[in-house]
Amino acid sequence: MSPDPPFGTSIIVYRRAQQGIKFLILHRAQDGPAQEGDWAWTPPSGARLPNEPVDECARRELQEETGLTLPIHATGRGLEIWAIYHAEASADQIVTLDAEHDRHEWVTLDEALTRCHPAAVAEGIEYVARLIQTQG
């Protein structure tokens, strides 16, 4: 892990569907499929390597954890500890999980906020939701 902040990145991935915007959340496999609560469900995210540019960390983590290669966009949020990015996926893109995760879901904002804990994780998702709503 980088000794300098930001120590890692989260990439809030979303796609537009007929039912509205859906957010990608991943379930950590570490404690088994029944695990719920803090850190059970998160957006793609991970630690930054020493001297790794923050943008590169976001691209690498997104590809490693989901198999997705998408244009990423910095939000300017979380740079003091954990940088927040966002990326839009199309409906036909396929998520391929790494061994760190046992499943994924595309969920509404309300569902993402309900499942993703601690509060800092949910706050990043909510921030991106507001950001993409203002961008259209």
In a domain, 95, yes or no: yes
Bridge partners (DSSP) of residue 85 are 11, 74
In a domain, 3, yes or no: no
Per the structure, the count of domains in the chain is 1
Domain at 37, CATH number: 3.90.79.10
In a domain, 53, yes or no: yes
Under DSSP, is residue 107 helix (H, G, I), strand (E, B) or coil?
A: strand
Other C-beta atoms closer than 10 Å to the C-beta of 53 total 10
Give which of 47, 91, 88 is closest to 65, Cα–Cα: 47
Under DSSP, is residue 33 helix (H, G, I), strand (E, B) or coil?
A: coil
In a domain, 2, yes or no: no
Structural domain boundaries enclosing 81: 8-135
pLDDT tens track, the chain, 136 positions: 899 999 999 999 999 988 899 999 999 998 887 888 888 999 999 999 999 999 999 999 999 999 999 999 999 888 789 999 999 999 999 999 999 999 999 999 999 999 999 999 999 999 999 999 887 6
In a domain, 34, yes or no: yes
